[in-house]
Structure 1
Amino acid sequence: MSANDDSGADRPGFGDNSEGDFEELQRILRDMLSGSGDAGAGGFDPQRFAQSAGIPMDPQALQGLFSSLQGAMQNPSDKIDWSIARKTAIEVASEHAKSADSEPAMRAFPVAALWLDEATELGPTPDAPRTLSRIEWVQQSIDTWVGLAEPVAESITAALMHALESQMPEEMSGALQGATPMLRSVGGALFAVQLGTIVGRLSGEVVGAGDIGIPLLSGAGHEGGALLPGGVAAFAEGLDQDPETVTLYLAIRELAHARLFRHSKWLRLHLLTAIGDYARGIHIDTDRIEELVRDLDPEHPEQIQEALSNGALIPPKTPAQEAAHARLETMLALIDGWVDVVTADAAKRIPGADAVAEMVRRRRATGGPAEHAFAALAGLELRPRRLREAAALWRLVGDRSDVATRDGLWAHPDLLPTSEEIDHPARLLERLGLAGSDGTPAEDDFDAALAQLLEGGLPPHRADDRDGGGGGSADDAGDADRRDD
């Protein structure tokens, strides 16, 4: 008997007929998902498999994972069942959810709205601001997260199937053809579980509905801004500031973000469309997947999680994607820069506001663990790398003209500053008719003013508003921004 003869053709259920192969493959998957394998004898270890999926190791989470994967195996579909992501996110958010007092936030909202009326021409939203628990934030934001991740999930699932087809022994090809819908469903379910885990963990990091720069909540009653009291309390713990002060500052920032997106009705769709276009342009490195399938050690299923979590399956950006990413970062920087400037003007009465602002910018520039995990999973970072420069530009426009001119630029996407204008503010001022008296931009004066603002920390209070409180020290936050550039 040759080696080839012993390779599997004579084993019952493999190579005899495609129906037997398919039944055997089903049996193997069913044994895996039952969690009954003998890990000590080299069999399936459910805990290590759960670790490879990036989910918590408690028994309830394991049961939920295997139940989801079993359902995907028994009811295969060409579409990913995203209800698994919703269920997982709620379960993860519930694990460490603690009740937090919502009264400080509710007291801060009216004051924040009153001060914002003085700092911006953009009026309040018709929806009242509110507080959310971690679970409520997950329930109301998960659809947006699914929309961001779905294009990448489809690409990864298709690439995995292609890799399996190319690596599967010839005698198993019939079984694979019959099992393709089932395997696709299981792979999609695993991706959905990972996304749900990331969103659930992110619920413990965010402080408000606009915390990551894009409006995750939409629809009637959801556009007025929201704070998560638990997240606010956790953020305040790391600051040498009165918790009420921190809450008020974050309330101002949240309501400023809500006003911007409510006033510029085109902005949310414009931003999410740009993100979707970028995500759909992501191509999965099929060669890397084939290499992973070929070299995967069944004893170390965490290799799968490592490949997903470090973004190894997503190849470097194409030139077109680089350009799309640059446009997206510019838009995110303009949004956060405007919010920073308006918040600074509205919060000038708050003692220690500059210190809180510095920590917010530092936190926004570096991101949290769950945000990094989503960046690796979907190949997309949602952090503004040019925040300081964009904030300086908004400040210059306001100082050279007035608040109405500054805020009026949000009326249409064609009016917004371009990337080149962020780099050279004099060009924007010239476009707006705010250049020198002779109609030409005073480059040296503008560059000097910009450099002075950057050196002094951003966003500084306007000269006529300062009360001797100082400009704060944002150099460290600026350093964090530059390290990310």
Structure 2
Amino acid sequence: MSSTPANNDDDTPKDPLQEMLANLLGGKGMEGFDPAELAKAAGLPSDPNALAQMFSQVQAMMSGSSDTPVNWDLARDAARKAAAGDDPSVTAAQQQAVDEALRLAEMWLDPVTDLAATAIIGRAWSRAEWVEETLGTWQRLTEPVANSIAFAISKAMNEQLPEEMKSAMGGAASMMQNMGGALFGLQLGQAVGALAKEVLGSTDIGIPLADLQMALIPANIKAFGEGLEVPEQEILLYLALREAAHARLFVQVPWLRGHLLGAIESYARGIHIDMSRIEDLAQNLDPSNPEAMQDALSQGVFMPARTPEQDAALAKLETALALVEGWVDELSFEAAANLPAAAAIRETIRRRRATGGPAEHAFGSLVGLELRPRRLREAAALWASLKEQRGIAGRDAIWAHPDLLPTATDLDDAAGFSARRSLEDASESDVDAALAKLLDGGFDDTPSGDAEPDTDK
């Protein structure tokens, strides 16, 4: 192909980059273009492999689903690539060890909870398997934010165009929206892939990312145990107890998963995108440098300060997460009474959950939400107190309905929870009794203290 730019019908030279953009907007794709020629015109490196990778990334960013602007296939690919480094396949011995540990954990949990064991078969996952099994839930949790960001980037990029170009690029809106969705998908995939290297099981962050599954990740458990000076078998058993306790809770309390995921979705829908920061990104947007764009996303460039309503929603969500994690923490420790290192493992997990890992922080920056039970210790103390006051069955009966769950105030004063709930129950009973009596016609309309009229006079 000649290095001379192609001519149009009126013999006016046409810039190869402009011609490529026009074809992209017209739906013709990259057909008929010589990447080396385009690289020369754009001042890009002429290495064929680098060019192929760059154009592949650009094409992926231009494509999108008709149902959503976010390219979830791109997110899945990015997640798998991020999780792929040093991700050994699960061996038969590891699968057997995990299966046996989870079966034993179920037996140890039976005496310490009134919630019945599940019939779920335990599994051992590689990091890539964790990505595949959980990405659907990540999509559900982040889609409200992802769509908002995609639309915001599309709007900001369109506003950055010179007036003389807007009419010529009337078809660019969907392309720009797809690019915004692709940017978010890339960064979400990176965050999920990084999380795959930190999590220990399917419920390690306190929510059931994989519906009705019970699984542990041997490669991450091995890394977790390094430096603890605790036998690997004890660590595996303790983590199996936590995974099995989570599974019992979410299976036997069927409303709980939807309650948590719904709270997260509501919080995400309330996030408002910081348009000024979007505009700054749009001004410097370079499709050939996805790393720079992902860095901007990972720093939380779209997340403004939370509103009071968002703070209230977050407080409710954090209380729910703390109650789940506190219950699991308390039961796991009680069931692990035969493990010499149970206290040390418990404390390590508590600190780990309270601070969060690097990948969890990256995810938090991306969607404005960190899934950490900040009040885990207070919640565990509350469940211990309720067991003393009500017994195992009475404690676990609180999960029967969301209205029965303790509040943030109860975490502040665990000992007074039952007293406050008794007063509330008594007040409700008085109201119910009065209403029933009124409906039955049992109230006398005569004012109290007034004498009946004397009709004999």
Q: Which TM-score applies when normalising by structure 1?
A: 0.75
Offset of 1:98 from its aligned partner?
A: 1.5
> Are the equivalent residues in 2 in contact too, given 1:289–1:313 (CA < 8 A)?
yes
Cα 1:346–1:180 shift into 2, 3 Å: same
For 1:155, the equivalent position in structure 2 comes to: 148
3-state SS in 2 of match to 1:402:
helix
C-alpha separation in 2, matches of 1:342 and 1:24: 58
For structure 1, which segment, 133-142 or 347-356, has the greater mean C-alpha deviation from structure 2 after superposition? 133-142
8 Å Cα contact 2:183-2:294 kept in structure 1: no
Please state how far the C-alpha of 1:184 moved relative to its aligned partner.
Answer: 1.5
Greater mean alpha carbon deviation, residues 333-342 or residues 172-181 = 172-181
CA contact (8 A) 1:141 1:217 kept: yes
Residue 173 of structure 1 and its aligned partner are, at CA, apart by: 0.8
Please say if residues 87 and 196 of structure 1, whose CA atoms lie closer than 8 Å, have aligned partners that are also in contact: yes
**Is residue 157–residue 176 contact of structure 2 (8 Å, CA) maintained in 1?**
no
Compute the displacement of 1:362 (Å): 1.1
Alignment of 1:365-404 (within 5 A): 365-404=354-393
Distance in 2 of aligned mates of 1:121 and 1:63: 59
Q: Secondary structure at the match of 2:87?
A: coil
Residue 112 of structure 1 aligns with which residue?
Answer: 105
CA contact (8 A) 1:73 1:185 kept: yes
Aligned to 1:67: 56
Change (3 A) 1:20 1:384: closer
What letter is aligned with 1:94?
A: A
Q: In the alignment, what sits opposite 2:274? A: 285
1:193 paired with 2:183, answer no
CA distance in 2 between partners of 1:330 and 1:313 (Å): 26
1:88 aligns with 2:81: no
User: In the alignment, is the contact (CA less than 8 A) between 1:91 and 1:200 conserved in 2?
Assistant: yes
State whether residues 75 and 189 of structure 2, in contact with CA within 8 Å, keep that contact through their aligned partners in structure 1: yes
2:75 maps to amino acid? A
Post-superposition offset of 1:340: 0.4
Cα deviation, 1:21-64, whole Å, max 9, x if unaligned, reads 8459789x969x998699999845799xxxxxxxxxxx89x977
Q: Which of structures 1 and 2 has the bigger CA Rg?
A: 2
| CA separation of 1:255 and 1:301: change in aligned 2, threshold 3 A | closer
Tell me what 1:134 maps to.
127
Measured at CA, do residues 122 and 40 of structure 1 come closer, stay the same or move farther in structure 2, by a change above 3 Å?
Answer: farther
| Residue 343 (structure 1) aligned to one of 320, 332, 335 | 332
| Alignment deviations for residues 233-278 of structure 1 (CA, whole Å, 9 cap, x no partner) | 1111231100000000000011001101111100000110110010
Distance of 1:262 and 1:311 partners within structure 2: 35
Query: 1:233 aligns to what?
Result: 222
Q: How does 1:213-252 map to 2 (within 5 A)?
A: 213-218=206-211, 222-223=212-213, 225-252=214-241
Q: Which amino acid aligns with 1:134?
A: R
Shift of 1:95: 3.0
Q: Aligned AA for 2:79? A: A
Unaligned runs of 5+ in 1: 1-10, 48-58, 435-485
Change beyond 3 A, Cα 1:335–1:64: farther
* Structure 1 residues 373 and 340, CA gap change in structure 2 (3 angstroms): same
Displacement after TM superposition at 1:299 (Å):
10
Stretch of structure 1 that moved more, 307-316 or 251-260: 307-316
Q: Work out whether 1:273 is the aligned partner of 2:262.
A: yes
Aligned residue type for 1:321 = Q
Given that 1:201 and 1:370 are in contact with CA atoms closer than 8 Å, whether structure 2 keeps it comes out as yes
Conservation of the 8 A alpha-carbon contact between 2:158 and 2:173: no
1:52 matched residue in structure 2? none
Deviation at 1:232, TM superposition (A): 1.2
Per-residue Cα deviation, 1:149-200 (whole angstroms, up to 9, x for no partner):
1111111111111112222111111233211112222221232122222212
Q: Which residue of 2 aligns with 1:181?
A: 174
Distance 1:232 1:407 in 2: 29
Q: Name the % identity.
A: 48
Change (3 A) 1:298 1:98: closer
Which range moved further: 365-374 or 238-247? 365-374
Q: How far apart, CA to CA, are the structure 2 residues paired with 1:343 and 1:124?
A: 14
Give yes or no for contact 1:227–1:251 (8 Å, CA) kept in 2. yes
Task: Pick closer, same or farther for the CA change 1:320–1:37 going to 2, 3 Å.
Answer: farther
Q: CA deviation at 1:302?
A: 5.3
Q: 1:124 to 1:20 in 2, by over 3 A?
A: closer
Distance 1:138 1:63, change over 3 A: farther
Q: Which amino acid aligns with 1:186?
A: M
SS at match of 2:302: coil
Deviation per CA, 1:348-403, whole angstroms, max 9, x where unpaired?
A: 11011110111111111111222111111111110011111111111111122211
TM-score by length of 2: 0.79
Query: Which residue does 1:471 correspond to in 2?
Result: none
Match in the other structure for 2:87: 97
Q: Which amino acid aligns with 2:88?
A: K
Q: Does 1:326 align with 2:315?
A: yes
Report Cα offsets for 1:422-481 as digits up to 9, x if no partner.
1122441204559xxxxxxxxxxxxxxxxxxxxxxxxxxxxxxxxxxxxxxxxxxxxxxx
1:307 counterpart (274, 281, 296): 296
CA contact (8 A) 1:307 1:313 kept: no
CA 1:30/1:190 → structure 2, altered by over 3 Å: closer, same or farther? farther
Q: 1:295 to 1:131 in 2, by over 3 A?
A: closer
Amino acid at match of 2:80: I
SS at 2:170 equivalent = helix
| Distance across 1 between alignment mates of 2:86 and 2:46 | 23
1:85 partner amino acid? A
Distance 2:39 2:314 in 1: 44
SS of the residue corresponding to residue 194 of structure 1 reads helix
CA displacement 1:132-157 (0-9 Å, x = unmatched): 22222111111001111111111111
What is the alpha-carbon distance in structure 2 between the residues aligned to residue 382 and residue 67 of structure 1? 34
